Structure formats: structure tokens, C-alpha cells
Amino acid sequence: MKLRLLTAVAALVLTAPLAPAAPALAAPGVLPGAVPAHAPYAVPAALPVTSAALAAPDVPLANVKAHLTQLQSIATANGGNRAHGRPGYLASANYVKGLLDAAGFTTQLQSFTYNSATGYNVIADWPGGDSNDILMVGAHLDSVTAGPGINDNGSGSAAILETALLVARQGLQPTKHLRFAWWGAEEGGLRGSQYYVNNLPAADRSRIKGYLNFDMVASPNAGYFIYDGDNSDGVGSGPGPSGSAQLEQVLQEYFTSIGVPTRGTDFDGRSDYGPFISVGIPAGGTFTGAEGTKSSAQASLWGGTAGQAFDSCYHRSCDTTANINDTALDRNADAVAYAVWTIATAVPPVTVWSDTFETATGWTTNPSGTDTATTGLWERGDPEATDSSGAKQLGTTVSGSNDLVTGRLAGASAGDYDVDGGVTSVRSPAITLPTGTLRLSLSWYLAHGSNSSSADYFRVSVVGATTSTVLQQPGAATDRDAAWATATADISSFAGQTVRILIEAADASTASLVEAGVDDVKITR
């Protein structure tokens, strides 16, 4: 892990927090079981994981420690370190590459130049999986010049190396494509990982749907930290790119399963996730602490000694194989394998039904013949933008040219074609649902002026043998500008039924301005 005085890399894209368990009826503005997300909605195809993932193996601690012994021997034979530009680093890279070559990985030593010396990244791809859906797992392999760097970061390097070798031993056939990386010159400022990301064509970057980073996972006075993908701790540089919260959740699931409490650690730019999050690639990982001091509260939580550093040998010559906490190393190595198996073998959701509104598919306005609105009736079309103290009807859609909108024209003023006089509704064609776990997702907005009230609303219901309201957003006496949001709901209770989706918007306040839109409705299994 590099020194704190290096410039941090800030996360660029916000991600929504995870929602609590769903009530029987949605709270206002929230779908049951939903994760509301602010536009742009960009959760990668690799996430979320599903229950179809294969169970992860136990990573043998003895094997991980054997790799550390080899890295220690390499350092001892090469001036006491494995630093960038020194012979100990290249020997370390060749050790890792040799094992991966023999195991059946496709590997390369990617060279780069930093500080007038040649550095190397080891990149290893496991054959198979969707090449457009890549899960990448990385750790930096170099040490500082002062010592052999066995905790920092032989520990992360050995943990992901043994996980990769387990992939080969089990002949894993993941749904995602698996790529492992050991970075050079991290201690000089993330030089190897930055070189890798900078030299990826944009199309190749877009194929990496998640990056997991493991840097210092066996600190002797260990803490158990997970990169805070959704900024649930509410401090520091904020959340990672959309999808980081799901990576955090997977790692959290593992530690919860073994009864080990964790705390969030910030994306502060000190390790190799930095270049990935800077280009919007979701990231996550674990960390057991560096030069920071363990607090009394942390000692009560995890044991160890309060008032002492998590790793008192951080960046020192004493960072040897004697500087390893076996329990922390064992737990974190298993966490690496759990994340890899859970994410990489998960079966992506299958689309049961979808509508982007680019063509007419049989939606019916006023299906019950009870609508009362006189203008702003739901229609499919290319919307025109309106503005009244801010955007009220969006002229841009989530995809394509058309959406469902309450009166697509702008008119001479913002209120010409908004919802007036009561309720307008539109209903989907009949949708026959299969059995299994089903989720409904849609992009939507509700906008209104400050003359609105809770009598106004936007509502989505699923109508089958019963009717369930899955989203209800009431108005309020405040200005609400239009902005696309995306939400999902569990509709598994309708499995095996033929259902319709009913969407309503209402102007039931006096002289209020109400606009609403819907796009990209989808049901997945």
C-alpha cells in the first residue's frame, strides 16, 4: 500500500444505498425490495449476483503461506526487497507467472517504465466465460526498498494467487470471464495499474464489470475493513462507481457468515482500485490496516492491542513472514475465493418481458374507463422538454427516442399539456410470467411545482389474481424537478400468473403542475 501523501483518486459516480427488506406495501417513492438509483443507471451486467452461484472452496492457509515463504526467499536473495526496478521484483513476477502458466492460465508480463526502470504487471486470464463481462481481481506485488513486503503486499498477492490456482484445480467454468492481475510499482504511486488502465481501449474498459483489490490482508494487529462501495459510513471521498456497493455486499456476506464484524474503509486513492474507479469501473476489496492506530473500540470489536498500529512493520525491514496474522490471512483468502465464486459463477438474470416504447406493443390508456384527467394523458412518443422553475418534462429518454409520457408536447407554457383535472392511467398488454424469482424494473420520474400536494401522485401497480402497488410517489408543496430514476421490485408472488402493469399519474390538487414519464420497463428472472 502506497504512502498516504500521494494524491488520492476520487470516485466519480454515485451509487444508491441498499434498501431494507421490503414491506408488504411500498413506502412512498420506494419499490418493495428496491434499490432506487439516480440516473444514469449503470449497474453492470455482472451484478447483482444470484443464488445460482456455485459454493466457494476453502482456501488452504498452508498454501497461501507457502507463497509468502517463496516471496521472502526471493527478497532475501535479492538485497532484502522486491521493489520496482530491483531484481527481487522481476523474480517475484516470474514466480507468479510460472505457477499460472503451469495451471493453464493465459498470462503476460506487461512492461512499463517508471523512474527510469522497467516495471512489470502480471496479467492472467482464465479461459472461458463471457468476454464482455469481466471480473478482475488484483493485488500489488512490489515491496518498498526498505524490506521484503510480506504483509504489504505479499499477503494480498498470495491470497489471489492461491484463489487463481484453485480456479484451475477445480476446472471452474465461470459465467463471467476471470482475469487476475499482480501490479508493479504500486509503492511508487499506482504506476502499474495506472499504466494498465490508461492503455486499455475504451471498449475493453467497458467489458470490465468489476474490480476487486486486496492490499494488506494479514496485518498483525488486524482490523477487518471492506471498501465502502456505497459510502454507508458517510465520510471521506464518497462511494465508488455504480456497482461498487454490490461488490461490498458480497464481501460483507462472507464475513457475516463467519461471524466477523467489519467496518467500511474509504476509497482514498492509496491502492490499485484508484485507476479503475477513476474511469467508472466498480471496485471493492478488503484491508486489515496499515500504519494507522487501532482504537479501543476497534480492539473491543476485533481483539488485538489498542493504541498500536495495525501493522507496526509497515514499510519497514521487519515486514517479513514473521509479520503475518494467520487468522486474518486465512479469513481474507477465503473472502477472495467467496467473492470470485459468488460473482463469477452467478447466472445473469434472464429477461422475461421488456418494453423500451420504441414501437407500439399494446399499452391501453384509460383501461377501466374511469380516468378524469382532461389534459396530460399518458401517451407513447418523443417528448418535448418543458421548464418551470426547473425541468418539468424531460425531452430526453433513457433509451431510444420514445417513452411513456403525460402529454408529450411542450406547448406555449409548461402547464399547457401537463396532467390536469384528475387521474390518467395506462396499462400494459398481458404478460405471462414463468415460475421463479422475478423482478420488475423501470425508469421513471414525477415532477411538479410548489403548488402541488400529497393529493397528486405517480403510481405503479401489478395486476394479476391480486393487485399490488409497487411504487407510489406522492406530490408535495415543494418544487420537484424531473430526473430519471430507476428502481426494481420483487414480484415473485405473481410467478406463474398472467399480469398487467398499471401506471397512473394524478393531478388532484388545485392548479398544480404535474408531469410524469416512464421508460425501459423490464421483468427478469
What is each CA distance from 97 to 101, 142, 157, in whole angstroms?
6, 14, 12
Catalytic-residue membership of 291: no
What is each CA distance from 167 to 74, 160, 253, in whole angstroms?
25, 10, 21
225 phi and psi, to 5 degrees? -115, 140
Nearest to 153 by CA among 302, 308, 329: 329
Residue 207: all three cell numbers together: 467489458
What is each CA distance from 170 to 32, 116, 432, in whole angstroms?
38, 42, 39
d(CA 354, CA 179): 32
Contact 217, 163 (CB under 8 A): no
Q: Which residue carries 443507471 as its cell? A: 41
The one-letter code for the residue type at 237 is S
How would you label 355-373 residue by residue, b for 16+ Cβ within 10 Å and e otherwise?
bbbeeeeebeebeeeebeb
Q: Where are the alpha helices (DSSP H) in 109-239?
A: 156-169, 191-198, 202-207
Degrees to nearest 5, angle at CA 133 with 128 and 138: 85
Partners of 514 in beta bridges: 448
3-class SS at 153?
Answer: helix
3-class SS at 175?
Answer: coil
What is each CA distance from 284 to 74, 318, 320, in whole angstroms?
29, 28, 26
Of the candidates 186, 379, 504, 515, the residue annotated as catalytic is 186
3-class SS at 192?
Answer: helix
Which are the contacts of 256, defined by CB distance < 8 A and separation ≥ 6? none
Contact 267, 15 (CB under 8 A): no
Full DSSP string of 343-379:
HHTPPPPPEEEEE-SSS----EESTTS----SB--EE
Full DSSP string of 439-493:
EEEEEEEEEE-TT--TT-EEEEEEESSSEEEEEEEE--SS-B----EEEEEE-GG
d(CA 523, CA 11): 31
d(CA 336, CA 286): 9
Partners of 467 in beta bridges: 463
d(CA 126, CA 179): 6
Catalytic positions: 186
